[in-house]
Amino acid sequence: MSGDYHGSRLAYDPRRRILWQALWRHHFRRVVAPDACVLDLGAGYGDFINTVVARRRIAVDLWPDLARHLAPGVEPVLAPATDLSAIAAGSVDLVFASNLFEHLTQQDFIATLAEIRRVLGPGGTLTILQPNYRYAYREYFDDYTHVAVYSHISLADLLRAHGWDVTDVRPRFLPLTVKSRLPVWPGLIAAYLRSPMKPMGKQMLISARPRAVH
């Protein structure tokens, strides 16, 4: 990130914690086993990983203030997404990346995928949540650090082209930000996740697993 990104574009907002607590309760806890190791890539304020209930929790980010925002027991790793050498091969069950890959060049994204593949254990999963350019094109470059453009189609195709099997694609998983007109209420978030209608849904969710090499 360039400049004081966390002090300007990504200033602390307590509504994010409410959002992630609701997302954990109504979605992610169903796909994370209690004995899993979960890695939050580009963890920022730790709003996702702090809510996770798992045997081991790891937060990776370049931001020097990462550790002071993490809950007790969450392991901070100050490193770029392209270098996960601090994490043992085959030790992670779920890698989660929220609003990260649109900030990386495609070359760095591909390098990051190789690192993710290395740290994932058998049956491990990568889950990506990020803006879907098809629906968020008007606001996409309001964030001055966005350098790459993906839709749910192009992102899934990129993953397949680099040795991943895509297991879940949700083109309109969430509204773009907590700053949208929709209030951040746990009950409303739960209803939104259940509803087949997704007003203002501009973030996609994609999950994938490394393709087996025969």
Task: Tell me which DSSP letter residue 176 carries.
Answer: S
pLDDT tens digit sequence for 13-43: 677 788 888 899 989 999 999 999 999 999 9
Cβ neighbors of 212 (< 8 A, separation 6 or more) are none
CA–CA distance, 57 with 55 (Å, rounded to integer):
7
pLDDT at res. 9 = 45
CA–CA distance, 45 with 69 (Å, rounded to integer):
5
Whether residue 173 contacts residue 201, with contact meaning beta carbons closer than 8 Å, is answered with yes
CATH number, position 21: 3.40.50.150
Domain that holds residue 149: 5-210
pLDDT tens digit sequence for 90-116: 999 999 999 999 999 999 999 999 999
Mean pLDDT, rounded, for 159-167: 98
Q: How many domains does the chain have?
A: 1
pTM: 0.87
Whether residue 44 contacts residue 65, with contact meaning beta carbons closer than 8 Å, is answered with no
pLDDT tens digit sequence for 116-141: 999 999 999 999 999 999 999 998 89
